[in-house]
Amino acid sequence: MRVRRLPALAVTAVAAVSLSGCAALDALPAMPSPVPTSVVPSGTPLPAPTSSGNLSPDGFDLAQRITVRIRNVGCGSLSTGTGFAIDEHTLVTNKHVVADSEQLQLATYDGRDVAASAASTASLADLAIVRTVDALPAWPELAPQDPAAGDPVTVVGYPLGGALTITSGTVVGTTTDPLNENLGDVLVTDAPVEPGNSGSAALDADGRVIGVVYAKSSDGFSYVVPVSTLRAMLDDESAFSPSPSCTTS
């Protein structure tokens, strides 16, 4: 399904960096300075998206239970991002969230640590797969097709490395991926995101994944790898390769 195309804007990847920044385009502004421990997330966490229902006994919505905080401990660096489960032992996130890591530390919505066994990254899109030793609490459905302009979107993640936060907006249109033209079109939404939201699931009104957040523009729009691309890459065994650690890269 096609949606309204938009002109490309300057974008910044949205991983929260506390000691060192990720690589960026020459035209992009510098990554933000280290995040203080007293930082307050940009949005107030809601008890649950109103669309999905499906509360667990502890009162958390499915959208929250699928979401995982990712801390990338590198060689002299530390960054945080977000991922989401697609099955009991598999997370989807961004390539730049797991790049150059010495150790990936994963934590679920209820603070439980989950051990990572391997990470693989895509060469085409800013996507990565993380396999886990421990079982993940829950996982969503992938939407059967890309959304249309005007469709609602919910983003669930850990902005600025802080609390699990839900923001909402609409799909504004599409544009050619400003970070990788070979990828083709990506979604543009007005759902607010911050550094640390990289790898967050973008969900439709039924709680299904419509894409993966990976960047934001200088005008505050969020960029999302669409679910059609995610599905195609998950179906292609050659799309992902083992991610080198910072000790070998």
Alpha helices in the chain (DSSP H): 62-65, 95-98, 227-234
Distances (CA, A) of 76 to 13, 38, 73, 246: 20, 22, 8, 9
- Which residue from 247, 239, 187 is spatially nearest to 213, judged by alpha carbons? 187
Q: Look at residue 194 and give its three-state secondary structure.
A: coil
8 Å CB contact between 154 and 191 = yes
Active site residues: 96, 126, 198
Question: Two tokens at 17?
Answer: 């960096």
Question: Two tokens at 11?
Answer: 């974008």
